[in-house]
Structure 1
Amino acid sequence: MTETAFLTAAELGRLYRDRELSPVEATRAALDQIEEHNPRVNAFCLVDEEAALASARESEKRYSDGGPLGKLDGVPASIKDLVLTRGWPTLRGSRLVDPDQAWEEDAPSTARLREGGAVLLGKTTTPEYGWKGVTDSPLTGVTTNPWDTTRTSGGSSGGAAAAISLGMGRIAIGTDGGGSVRIPGAFCGIFGFKATFGRVPAWPISPFGTLANVGPMTSTVEDAALMMDVISAPDYRDPLTLPPAGYDFADHLEGGVEGLRVAFSPDLGYAELHPEVRDAVEQAARAFEELGATVVREDPGFDDPVECFKAHWYPGAAKALAAYGREARALMDPGLVEIVEEGERYSAVEHLEAVAKRGELGILMGEFHRRYDLLLTPTMPIPAFEAGVETPGSRGSGGRWTSWASFSHPFNLTQQPAATVPCGFAEGLPVGLQIVGARHADALVLRAARAYEAAHPMSSRPPLAA
């Protein structure tokens, strides 16, 4: 059963259709992995075994009758605990949210998975309101890394990344407002994709506004493309949803990268890099040359936009917690309290100045992509560090998570598609290559990630799962 838990979603679909495997068997395998590994990594904050098995039995009957609902029918899946899921509390990693209320609606991505027959296993852990790039909260505690349980899984979709890495479901819904799909994807050695803003509908609208995205987290690029074909369907509740792509992402994976113009920036001109991370991403860039792309080492030409990002992110945090009185802050993550209080001090003029700078950054990257089809960078400048702290070193004293997530938040500001794909190891821990495309070039980013993955496959399966 353990091997069944690590089959990809695409493989499961083929086996189901050929009657060689049952969705019930795959779901039991995922639940067995949760039972074995969740106590050590804390990836799930809610598991509904009864509902999952009931859903799997319904899927099994559909395949028996020859009528699966879609590409992901019967595939075990998880939902991050920021994303509404009918019948289950969505507590957002916070002691402030009352679990005893009606939970009657699915968010768009949850609804699309459910309508397509995916088997929902439960909810994965998040820091409180998804505010930081590691996963721990006053409500659910610390989520650790499957490759080394003394290290962080990253965040804020750290539970989802750890779950995929350990076969606790094959597909996961994550969210990404400053790297929250890509950071834990890189740290846990899985694939993660942040599409062009608006490509995947979201509701309720995030307090972090147009920084925030919903995206797939999987063990392979193909599985992420299958997820995109399902969760990118428009939803009337999101007025910022883009029109349908007009094609299936999974059908556009195999074009390769030959002839593409690719820029490689190992540090974006300002980031400090762990030497083993630098070595891994430089080898990955050379691999693109071997695959037929023209690769040029060039920085995009912007300074670190972290202050611009903070001027969006911190007021968003203040908005998220505005409904709670100041006395409630004693129950909150102290770091979140700090950025809420800082966010409250931003003036409207300061925020609008940041909006203007964001627009300038978007124009700069638009011009950059007139010359280059893709940009390659590290996903993270460092390997995963000590679990339970916000920043590495000296038990995480000083600084904010944005100080080390140098490569992710710029592309939330610009709303570009960006993926992380495993490309090596540093200190024995996974390293991710980030592939960035122009806005709306989602299919190209997935195609490039697939070309690299096919040429340099890496197991997302850590020693803990052996």
Structure 2
Amino acid sequence: MKNELFKLTAKNLIRLYQRKKTNPTEVVLNIIDQLDKKNQKFNAFVDYDKEKILQQAKLSSKRWMTGEIKGALDGIPISIKDLLITKDYHTRRGSFVESLPISSDKNAPVVKKVLDKGAIILGKTTTPEFGHKGTTQSIRYGSTLNPWNTDLNAGGSSGGSAAAVAAGLGPLSLGTDGGGSVRIPCSFCGLFGHKPTFGRVPAYPISPFGTVANIGPISRTVEDGALLMNVIASSDKDDWYSLPNENINYSEINFDNIRNMRIGVFKHWGMKKFFNEISLDNEINLVFEDILSEIKKKGLLLDMSSKICWPNNPADIFKTIWYIGAANLSKKINKEELHKIDKNFLHFIDEGNKFSVFDFLNAEAKRAENSSYLSYLFEHFDVLIGPTMPVLPFDHSEVIPKNFNDKDLFSWTPFTYPFNLTKNPSSTINCGFSKSGLPIGIQVVAPIYEDKTCFLISAYLEKIFSLTNIWPKFI
């Protein structure tokens, strides 16, 4: 078993620590061995330091020996997306730009929280430049590959984090989600990922993209995601948006009343009318129908007759906010360095500079209308489900699937960003595979502030389909 400690979940590692069957030092030595063997193949990590990892592990091992553990994550290896600031590692944001701060004298609130509970930081994971797209090709570090098929991309922008967890390079990771950047790669890599209600998990510094950006857990299992969520979901003085502390334990899951829950099923999430070609990949459609059939057999109440009719096009709103965010970030970069930036992000900057403050305020007003509409929809439902993605993972060199005529970078990710706009919590959980063995995720969306409902439904789906012990053949 010692040769496969890297495959154990965080909760199982804790159980073994408690029984003194292994210790954090043994675990990280096994993971470091995997990092050395696999990271060059998958390009999940941009930076890791073996000595720093081992030093943390030895201290944790001593705490477990003396019974003086720091908290719920003591001895648990975790990776950090390279958009989150860290004291012990540079934060380069996938960019060659040097005029933005690279080093920091403090940790992001979520990093501080996991360290305070004893977690072992493995290093920083790959992101496309500034996390600007749904695939992870970094102009600085190259493409992150999908552990399920290394010809394909891992999704993005938290693709490095998702590939790391899917490849067994640590059971947990902290990702960011500004338009789907946790849910997209978790769907592509067969994982659980959660975008919290905005403000539930604190962020510092504030994202240049404003209030669409979130930080969330990435894990193989819902149980592990809940363990991490319990640690990071608390207020912080560095984030003036952070919500008051809540007395919720995400690990306490009770299925007793699940058959009384009203579940709305939305295959296209109300987005089909806004796109010329937003149809589900045929394999996703077939698997989704099978998933619904299995859910029905369990006696759950599914409503497949209702529709989402957004008052305003979420794509237009999102692009306005995202482009303005890109232009906002560019003001902090020396003009002499702009030529170093990814051409797609330069396009975002150019588009963002065309908007006025009135355009931004108008987009925010339309965003509020959509959010209000969704709140009224939740008078009829307790939770919504549907496919996380309309497409399967595609070639790692591409930023848009080849069969898409629309070359808009947001054309193939329309199911995720509407809920960044409305601030609703949403998760993805792997519920099936294509004929070629690629994961297919289901998105779970709950009323605002009701993050635990996402964990409840995701855990139930995880229980039904029992896929968490299936590993990529490359591992």
Normalised by the size of structure 1, how large is the TM-score? 0.96
Query: Counterparts of 1:86 and 1:308 in 2: how far apart (Å)?
Result: 35
Aligned to 2:464: 455
Report the secondary structure of 1:174's partner residue: strand
Shift of 1:97: 3.1
Shift of 1:285: 2.6
Shift of 1:292: 3.1
Aligned to 1:357: 366
From 358, 361, 378, give the equivalent of 1:369.
378
Residue 182 of structure 1 contacts residue 420 of structure 1 at CA under 8 Å; is this kept in 2?
yes
Aligned to 2:449: 440
Aligned to 1:133: 134
Please say if 1:299 is aligned against 2:307.
Answer: yes
Aligned to 2:15: 14
Query: Counterparts of 2:101 and 2:319 in 1: how far apart (Å)?
Result: 33
Please say if 1:41 is aligned against 2:50.
Answer: no
Aligned to 2:279: 272
Aligned to 2:355: 346
Shift of 1:2: 4.1
* Residue identity in the other structure for 1:264: V
Shift of 1:115: 0.6
Residue 201 of structure 2 contacts residue 216 of structure 2 at CA under 8 Å; is this kept in 1?
yes
Residue 390 of structure 1 contacts residue 400 of structure 1 at CA under 8 Å; is this kept in 2?
no
Deviations 1:311-346 (A, max 9, x none): 111100111121224332211111000011101111
Query: Counterparts of 1:154 and 1:182 in 2: how far apart (Å)?
Result: 9
Residue 256 of structure 1 contacts residue 448 of structure 1 at CA under 8 Å; is this kept in 2?
no
Query: Counterparts of 1:186 and 1:432 in 2: how far apart (Å)?
Result: 4
Aligned to 1:79: 80
Aligned to 1:145: 146
Q: Which moved more, 1:211-220 or 1:301-310?
A: 301-310
From 423, 444, 457, give the equivalent of 1:415.
423
Residue 113 of structure 1 contacts residue 230 of structure 1 at CA under 8 Å; is this kept in 2?
yes
* Residue identity in the other structure for 1:142: S
* Residue identity in the other structure for 1:299: K
Report the secondary structure of 1:250's partner residue: coil
Report the secondary structure of 2:258's partner residue: coil
* Residue identity in the other structure for 2:186: G
Query: Counterparts of 1:340 and 1:256 in 2: how far apart (Å)?
Result: 48
Aligned to 1:284: 291
Shift of 1:400: 2.6
Q: Residues 101, 148 of structure 1: CA spacing in aligned structure 2 closer, same or farther, 3 A cutoff?
A: closer
Deviations 1:49-105 (A, max 9, x none): 111111111111111111211111101100000001112100000100369964321
Please say if 1:378 is aligned against 2:387.
Answer: yes
Query: Counterparts of 1:256 and 1:9 in 2: how far apart (Å)?
Result: 28
Query: Counterparts of 2:3 and 2:360 in 1: how far apart (Å)?
Result: 50
Query: Counterparts of 2:58 and 2:254 in 1: how far apart (Å)?
Result: 32
Q: Residues 209, 101 of structure 1: CA spacing in aligned structure 2 closer, same or farther, 3 A cutoff?
A: closer
Deviations 1:182-235 (A, max 9, x none): 000000111100111111000001011110000000000000000010011211
Query: Counterparts of 2:170 and 2:85 in 1: how far apart (Å)?
Result: 18
Query: Counterparts of 1:403 and 1:46 in 2: how far apart (Å)?
Result: 32
Report the secondary structure of 2:368's partner residue: helix
Q: Which moved more, 1:283-292 or 1:421-430?
A: 283-292
Deviations 1:233-262 (A, max 9, x none): 211100111111212111235556221000
Report the secondary structure of 2:430's partner residue: strand
Q: Which moved more, 1:159-168 or 1:31-40?
A: 31-40
Query: Counterparts of 2:360 and 2:463 in 1: how far apart (Å)?
Result: 43
Aligned to 1:50: 51
Report the secondary structure of 1:361's partner residue: helix
Aligned to 2:414: 406
Normalised by the size of structure 2, how large is the TM-score? 0.95
Residue 89 of structure 2 contacts residue 103 of structure 2 at CA under 8 Å; is this kept in 1?
no
Residue 100 of structure 2 contacts residue 332 of structure 2 at CA under 8 Å; is this kept in 1?
no
Aligned to 1:188: 189
Unaligned residue ranges in structure 2 (runs of 5+) = 273-277
Query: Counterparts of 2:432 and 2:46 in 1: how far apart (Å)?
Result: 30
* Residue identity in the other structure for 2:314: P
Please say if 1:32 is aligned against 2:41.
Answer: no
Shift of 1:304: 4.4
Query: Counterparts of 2:102 and 2:286 in 1: how far apart (Å)?
Result: 51
Map 1:256-271 → 2, pairs under 5 A? 257-269=258-270, 270=272, 271=278
* Residue identity in the other structure for 1:262: I
Aligned to 2:208: 207
Shift of 1:388: 2.2
Q: Which moved more, 1:412-421 or 1:261-270?
A: 261-270
Computed over aligned residues only, the root mean square deviation of the Cα atoms, in angstroms, reads 1.6
Please say if 1:175 is aligned against 2:176.
Answer: yes
Shift of 1:286: 2.9
Query: Counterparts of 2:256 and 2:96 in 1: how far apart (Å)?
Result: 48
Report the secondary structure of 1:164's partner residue: helix
Residue 77 of structure 1 contacts residue 170 of structure 1 at CA under 8 Å; is this kept in 2?
yes
Residue 161 of structure 2 contacts residue 175 of structure 2 at CA under 8 Å; is this kept in 1?
yes
Residue 420 of structure 1 contacts residue 435 of structure 1 at CA under 8 Å; is this kept in 2?
yes
Residue 201 of structure 1 contacts residue 241 of structure 1 at CA under 8 Å; is this kept in 2?
yes
Aligned to 2:275: none
Query: Counterparts of 1:287 and 1:29 in 2: how far apart (Å)?
Result: 38
* Residue identity in the other structure for 1:317: A
Shift of 1:25: 1.1
Map 1:58-73 → 2, pairs under 5 A? 58-73=59-74
Query: Counterparts of 2:298 and 2:99 in 1: how far apart (Å)?
Result: 52
Aligned to 1:464: 474
Shift of 1:288: 2.9
Residue 2 of structure 1 contacts residue 33 of structure 1 at CA under 8 Å; is this kept in 2?
no
Q: Residues 16, 206 of structure 1: CA spacing in aligned structure 2 closer, same or farther, 3 A cutoff?
A: same
Query: Counterparts of 1:413 and 1:103 in 2: how far apart (Å)?
Result: 30
Report the secondary structure of 1:384's partner residue: coil
Query: Counterparts of 2:450 and 2:427 in 1: how far apart (Å)?
Result: 12
